[in-house]
Amino acid sequence: MNSVAIPQTQAGNSPLRRFSNLLYRRPNLYLSMLLVPPLLWFGAIYLGSLLMLLWQGFYTFDDFTMAVTPDLTLANFAALFQPSNFDIIVRTLSMAIVVSIASAVVAFPIAYYMARYTTGKTKAFFYIAVMTPMWASYIVKAYAWTLLLAKGGVAQWFVQHLGLEPVLQFVLGTPGVGGSTLSTSHLGRFMVFVYIWLPFMILPIQASLERLPPSLLQASADLGAKPRQTFMQVILPLSIPGIAAGSIFTFSLTLGDFIVPQLVGPPGYFVGSMVYAQQGAIGNMPMAAAFTLVPIVLIAIYLSIVKRLGAFDAL
Amino acid sequence: MRSDPKKPASEKQGDQASLGLKIAAWGGLVFLHFPILIIFMYAFNTEEAAFSFPPKGFTLHWFSVAFSRPDVLEAIKLSAQIAAIATLIAMVLGTLASAALYRRDFFGKQGISLMLILPIALPGIITGIALLATFKSFGIEPGMFTIIVGHATFCVVIVYNNVIARLRRTSHSLIEASMDLGADGWQTFRYIMLPSLGSALLAGGMLAFALSFDEIIVTTFTAGHERTLPLWLLNQLSRPRDVPVTNVVAMLVMMVTMLPILGAYYLTRGGESVAGSGGK
């Protein structure tokens, strides 16, 4: 008894030991010690900054002196609804929606094949093959597309050698889609967005299909459904949460982007490029702050919609 | 539950994928990798001014040109320093947050985990301009320090996701056993928790490094006059005469960001959803 007690009392006397005993007896103290550094960082730096930004949205920008004064006004937010600014919002929003839909269409077969027809090594291969482009440098991917779409670049070479030039000219001639060349067209910009955000769509769909119990498909077949019917009435509805989860990324990332619109596509501001221009060249931080409210509000609305589709369970 | 890459064979359907599905799936993979291959291809192109296709010839000449350019080396050094420091901060904060959140339920827990995810869930432009507005109003000159603050903020969640996934799989009784056997808090952390967290921490750290090394949107706002490698690249795009050097650096950045995901995959495989799949 004695021989056991000695090391314990020694250990009990060491400050470190007493400290860990204290933490064990007071789990709340332990918890708050763990939480204080990250909370301080995020509370002070991140949330503080967001509030500061929002607050500055109410400041006044003087057009003549180009100076910002802390007189509170709603003029910046009202200016968002001026036709020129509203156009920017509509342009960005419609691109985000179209990109999300197209990503889902392109991603679905990949995710479906991954989830249902691959096992073991092939599945691991698909995982890595989707994950590497997702993590590969964003700016380099955008750069790669400027090379691809450039005059005399890869895309043009393929179009020429496949004899598709008339088709390309026709598509580029379509108003609202085209432009003078691929790299200055809406179509080009759209392709780059779909490419860059595609992996963010594949993985949630794949995860939701992976959770689909095979017995459901067997039951559907037993009840006489043709493969197409099983797909339309069982598989597709059950993959909606995954599609919705993926679309959160494609939607939100497109809304805030200002690098791709700058590199590819016709002139004309996106919300992101407007924010950038307002704070940078013009120095109108209040207007920039008001503009950042646009993606925040749109994303909040979007999240409340996809929440009903079960997107959060599929994240 | 977990989406294990290796499903039991019984779950696999007897039917075969239709040809159209196979083409769409494999075609999608080709689509995802084609632009990356283009970058690798052009880095070795002999041609100087243009990006014509097909490439004219093979050379390593541009590598030596790129690595003797002081502006390239400066940018690489700056980006590596920033990524290293931001990763370190993120590893400390992310580990603390995951240790606090993985077991106990308390008021505000949901809010805290939401707050950690927010910097990567909201578009980077919001984080960037919010930080800039704050730095400006406190009179802090944008520079390396402000870049690090921004990067660390959105890197925390990467480490947090990796570590908390591992903590959830580690049995808590191991920790209790260690304490019962007389280990103090530090010893338990050092000899029990750290070995089981090690690979998850490393994976999270590698991904955080890659994310920081490549980040451009937040950085545009917080960089001031500093020029990280992605900012250097963006600036290069308006200088068509420099294309060969740009191509070489682009390939380098591509590799720095792609290799960590491979490493992280092998470190965390067989576990909960693979590192990095929860969104960048």
Residue ranges and CATH numbers for the domains of chain B are 18-59 (no CATH), 69-268 (1.10.3720.10)
Could you tell me where in chain A the CATH 1.10.3720.10 domains are found? 75-313
Cβ proximity of A103 and A197 under 8 Å: yes
Neighbouring C-beta atoms of residue B96, cutoff 10 Å: 22
Answer yes or no: do B188 and A147 touch at CB < 8 A: no
ipTM reported for the complex, 2 dp: 0.82
The tokens 């005469």 sit on which residue? Answer: B241
Please give the residue of chain A at the shortest CA–CA distance from B19.
A113
Which A residues, 56 through 95, put their C-beta within 8 Å of a C-beta on chain B? 56
Contact A133 B36 (CB under 8 A): yes
pLDDT tier at B168, thresholds 50, 70, 90: confident
Mean pLDDT value across residues B21-47: 88
Sign for the CA dihedral angle at B163, B278, A133, B233 comes to negative
- In this complex, the residue of A52, A132, A206 whose CB is nearest that of residue B261 is A132
pLDDT of residue A315: 63
Residue B201 to residue B89: CA distance in whole angstroms: 12
The confidence band for B2, taking pLDDT boundaries of 50, 70 and 90, is very low
Q: Residues of chain A whose pLDDT is less than 70?
A: 1-13, 313-315
Give the model's pLDDT for residue B276.
47
CA proximity to A240, closest of A113, A93, A111, A129: A111
**What pLDDT is attached to residue A113?**
93
The confidence score (pLDDT) of residue B49 equals 62
Instruction: Give the Cα separation of A90 and A95 in Å (integer).
Output: 8
Cβ distance A35 to B207 less than 8 Å, yes or no, reads no
- Band (pLDDT 50/70/90 cuts) for residue B270 is low
Q: Could you say which residues from 190 to 229 on chain A have a Cβ atom under 8 Å away from some Cβ of chain B?
A: 195, 198-200, 202-203, 206-207, 210-211, 214, 217, 227
CATH topology of domain A75-313: MetI-like fold (1.10.3720)
Q: Does A293 touch chain B (CB under 8 A)?
A: no
Q: Does A49 touch chain B (CB under 8 A)?
A: yes
Residues 6+ apart with CB under 8 A from A200: A103, A134, A246, A249, A250, A253, B279, B280
In 3D space, the residue among B39, B212, B63 whose CA is nearest the CA of residue A146 turns out to be B39
B window 123-162, beta carbon within 8 A of A: 123-127, 129-134, 136-137, 149, 152-153, 156
Closest Cβ–Cβ partner in A7, A16, A147 for B38: A147
Q: Which residues are registered as beta bridge partners of A67?
A: A62
**Three state DSSP letters for A250-296:** HHHHHHHCCHHHHHCCCCCCCHHHHHHHHHHHHCCHHHHHHHHHHHH
Rounded to two decimals, what is the model's pTM? 0.85
Q: Coil, helix or strand for B11? A: helix
Is the model more confident about A281 or about B34? B34
Q: Kindly report, residue by residue over B66-83, the tens digit of the pLDDT.
A: 888 888 899 999 999 999
* pLDDT at B9 (0 to 100): 41
